[in-house]
Chain A
Amino acid sequence: MPWLSSLLALPLLGVVVLLFIPGSARGLIRWWANGVLLAGLALALPLWQHFDRAVIGYQFVERVPWIPSLGAQYLLGLDGISLLLVLLTALLGPLASLASWNAIEDRTKEFYAMLLLLQAGMIGLFLALDLLLFFVFFEVVLVPMYFLIGIWGAERRLYAAIKFFLYTLAGSVILLLGIIGLYWLGTQQLAHPTFELPELLKLKLPLDAQRWLFWAFFAGFAIKVPMVPFHTWLPDAHTEAPTAGSVLLAGVLLKMGTYGLIRFSLPLFPEAAREAAPLLAILSIVAILYGALISLVQTDWKRLVAYSSVSHMGFCTLGIAALNANGLAGSVLQQINHGISTSLLFLLVGFAYERRHSRQIADYGGLAVVMPRFAFVFAVAVFSSAGLPLLNGFIGEFVILQGAFTANRTWAAFAVLGIVLGAAYLLWLYQRTMLGDLRHEANRGLADLSPREWATVLPLIALALAIGLYPQPYFAVLERPVLELVGRLAR
């Protein structure tokens, strides 16, 4: 069975069927879309069992010629890095959809069609081993996200949607030029045109070419992450997006940038990457500290969470900049962790917003009194995000800092400050929203988590605990590809 293709085709099939369901049958649409996404998760989970941790290279590879004149192939495959990200995507898709059950009353059919399209694009991106195919998915993802933000977003949705689209596109056209340049060099050296990643890895690129290509790829990926100073699209997009959009933006879309750096930039241009590492590290540290400081002064709950992503993604890119095994493995794991904890935070902000229709922190306070279960889950999310030991965030940040410390002690010293600041803004947020007396009468009647809401947060909490308590299985999956990558970088 072409496993990976089924994973990719399932949401697309879901869209096609969805087109034939009348738009007025909202219940049916919801059940169908959620069912399809859940089936996708069920299809993806056994990958974890069947994935051979001892094998070097890609598994479950599927190869079909796509555009022979260009040498482009429909080439899918998994290694440990993409496995984790595919599983994260497969999990967050249905959760985001389930969280939107009651939130989307208007144009329900279009909403779920966009979610399913987005899911296919995200899955495809992490599976693609052909650069052109990867680029197609990189762009395809933008369109449904544009509509998710633009149609179902908050007040400034029009601005946020086009800003998100244009910013990312500006980066990706540069990335496209980089891809074309690499393709051109590859055609000359390999004597046959190809976009196949393993083939392109055989190239011996002169340092000068590596530099140009590295920065072209960097433009595409750094905007996507986003690294400071390309981060200004993020707070708008994340804040204005509907809950499902925010969850998938923060949970998955940001990882496309870091994934791109790890999958393409580092192994393809190792020498240029070594040169660029200090700058990358500095940008990462700036992102960590700047994101944290900005988060401290936010009065908008959702915007605070959005800015915290800048800070946390800074850790992921710092791990990449360290260029050693700890840094890279920690970075990938931290991407998963960030996907879990930030999704939790966005989900909970969304739940609060659905009840109260306000994102202002000042409108809350003392919620623990009326919504103890909500407050408990929020506490887990905050601790997970802040990197409290025994929860997932701690492991990731710790390993990244280990890697950064080995590479350069100063980097680690500055980055540690970010953890302190992170704890500060997150705990302060918790205090202002959950603790104290109930300051607003409007909050008195708020209902606690519903069973459906429990169902969306429980898997994430469980995963946060599981990774925090016993992270070994995840590192085991990452070991081979990371060592392989470090080997390339050291050469």
Chain B
Amino acid sequence: MSHFYTDVDHFALLPAIILALFGCAIFLFDALLEARTRRWQLCLVLPGLAITGWQLWKQGQVGPFTAFHGALTIDPFSLFFNWLFLLTAALVALISYRYLEIENEHQGEYYGLVLMAQAGAYFLATGTELITLFIGLETMSLSFYVLVGFLREKRRSNEAALKYLLLGAFSSGILAYGFSILYGIAGTTYLSDIAVAVAARPAFDPLTLIAILTIATGVLFKISAAPFHMWAPDTYEGAPTAVTAFLAVGSKIASLALLLRLFLGPLASAREAWEPLMVLAAVASLTVGNLAAITQTSAKRLLAYSSIAHAGYLLLGLIAGNSTGLQGIAIYTGAYVFMTIGAFLVLIAVHGDEIEDLNGFARRHPAYAIPMVVFLLSLAGLPPTAGFLGKYYIFLALIESGRYTLALVGAVYVAVSLFYYFRLVRSMFLLPTSLTVPPVPTSLGLRIALGATGFVTLGAGLYPEPFLQLAARSLLK
């Protein structure tokens, strides 16, 4: 290996290379294979993810290290998020199979795009240099723009993709602008050096403020926090349901990783300046997400608004700023992956986007409806589910740091959120079946994903210790 590309660099880059290689292989096979056999591309995704997982495991065996002169950092933080991306991608691949078949859009490239998105996300968790982060973000976002519009025949899907593309590109531009200002302040793109430069500047320095404002705008857009959430409901609704799940989980937590890297890294010293902004965004997200969700008639839109609210809770963990808060973010994101994918996969099984389509679902398919109750309870944050622990830690962090009002606001919105989550339960269990009953497109993949998400959502609530240990190790440095 040359001086420019050492073994260590290779080791740090390998998971992304594997993901990209498998992604490209899928694109290639897609051109070669006949239409009927393309669906078997799923069989390439899982080995690709498995090998990536093996590499991540090997990374975990050695201590934290940096590569490419500090552009990539492998630490518990990156490993935690990368494992979550891996699980997300695997679950999404599993729930997509039958969905795509029904929508008659079974193209292998779908799976290739999932892997490419994950390759981009890899750099968001691992990158500690502005250009690397930005390229990672764009790689991921580009894959998502295509995925959202994957149902070529459907107008809604196209509309969603266009909206997401235009607003997403705009927000990326603003983010890049913020990055350029950081570069201007520090004269370097490495986060550790920027941290020193930012800390050396006076408090409420106008240049830093502009950087914070623009970066916050870009990142808050990506995690779909208010007031930059407008794209989310339309995009979530129009996108193929499996992609919506991927977007709500994969894209959100990858962007969250970026947000944490920036605001706990180079911008940590300017906390005084960005904290009020984050408080504003968190409270606005909680309010907009929870209140707007109440009036939705589409289950997908309802979950979209609820995911805005979840962004608010995650921000509260950042605002608290103590180790409990970080642990809370880790637990919350871990729980969020499983409960959100679980809820969306039930929507796939229902094969309808409207809340009405759920009517009488429990009678027809209790095996899906009962786990759905668990997912919804967890999303609302009721014990004994994983979601409760996430909220518990966030509230504890807020109380520890003396932010009682924010804790109260967060707690009150738990009760509000239950109201709309239980509108779905009401449809499934309490209302009679609507006349047209589409078949449930179950498949082995869907059932495996249902079992896995249900098991973790409930299991982590009943016996949380292993999960708490895991979370404590991952985000605490």
Listed in ascending order, the chain A residues whose CB lies under 8 Å from chain B are 66-70, 107, 135-136, 139-140, 142-143, 146-147, 150-151, 157-158, 161-162, 165-166, 169-170, 173-174, 176-177, 180-181, 183-184
Q: Does B464 contact A (CB under 8 A)?
A: yes
Task: Report yes or no: A165 in contact with B418, Cβ–Cβ below 8 A.
Answer: yes
Stretch at the interface among B303-311, B409-417, B442-450: B409-417
- The 5 listed contacts between A and B (C-beta, < 8 Å) are A66-B465, A136-B384, A150-B426, A173-B411, A184-B399
Residue numbers in A under 8 Å from B469 (CB-CB) = 69
Which one of B400, B408, B414, B472 contacts A169 once the chains associate, using CB atoms below 8 Å? B414
Q: Tell me the bound Cα distance from A183 to B468 in angstroms.
A: 17
Q: Once the chains bind, are A180 and B382 in contact (CB under 8 Å)?
A: no
Overall SS of chain A's interface: helix
Q: How far is the CA of A143 from the CA of B468 in the complex (A)?
A: 26
Other-chain residue from A68, A158, A177 in contact with B395 (beta carbon distance below 8 A):
A177
The residue of chain A having its C-beta at the shortest distance from the C-beta of B425 within the complex is: A146
- Which bucket holds chain B's interface residue count? 20 to 34
Q: Which B residues, 371 to 418, have Cβ-Cβ distances below 8 Å to chain A?
A: 373, 377, 382-384, 392, 395-396, 399-400, 407-408, 411-412, 414-415, 418
Say yes or no: is B430 at the interface (Cβ < 8 Å to chain A). yes
Q: Is B68 an interface residue (CB 8 A)?
A: no
Is B422 in contact with chain A by the CB < 8 A criterion? yes
Complex A-B, nearest 9 residue pairs according to Cβ-Cβ distance, in ascending order: A173-B411, A136-B383, A170-B415, A69-B468, A150-B430, A169-B415, A173-B414, A180-B396, A139-B383
Question: Do A67 and B464 contact each other (CB < 8 Å), given the known contacts A150-B429, A151-B430, A166-B415?
Answer: yes
How far apart are B82's CB and chain A's nearest CB, in angstroms? 23
Shortest Cβ distance from A157 into B: residue: B430
Indicate if the CB atoms of B377 and A183 lie closer than 8 Å.
Answer: no
Residue in B closest to A187 when the chains form the complex, CB atoms: B400
Alpha-carbon distance A169/B418, docked complex (angstroms): 9
A107 to B399 alpha-carbon distance, docked (Å): 44
Closest Cβ of chain B: how far from A388's Cβ, in Å? 41
B419 at the interface (CB under 8 A from A): yes
Are B399 and A177 in touch, CB under 8 angstroms? yes
Q: Which residue of B lies closest to A175 (CB)?
A: B411
Please report B residues at the A interface, Cβ cutoff 8 Å. 363, 373, 377, 382-384, 392, 395-396, 399-400, 407-408, 411-412, 414-415, 418-419, 422, 425-426, 429-431, 463-465, 468-469, 472
How far does the Cβ of A399 sit from chain B's closest Cβ, in whole Å? 36
B400 to chain A, nearest CB (A): 6
- Which of B382, B392, B422 is the one whose CB lies under 8 Å from A162? B422
Query: Max chain A CB contacts within 10 Å: which of B399, B407, B411, B431?
Result: B411
Which residues of chain A are near B392, meaning CB under 8 Å? 176, 180
Of the listed residues B382, B426, B472, the one surrounded by the most CB atoms of chain A closer than 10 A to its CB is B382
- New A-B contacts (10) at CB < 8 Å, excluding given A67-B468, A173-B415, A183-B396: A69-B468, A136-B383, A140-B383, A140-B384, A146-B422, A158-B426, A166-B418, A177-B395, A177-B407, A180-B396
- Bound CA–CA A140/B377 (angstroms): 10
Q: Which residue of B lies closest to A147 (CB)?
A: B429
A26 to chain B, nearest CB (A): 16
What's the least CB distance linking B433 to chain A, in Å? 13
Please determine whether B411 and A176 come into contact, CB atoms closer than 8 angstroms. Answer: yes
A158 to B432 CA separation, bound complex (whole angstroms): 12
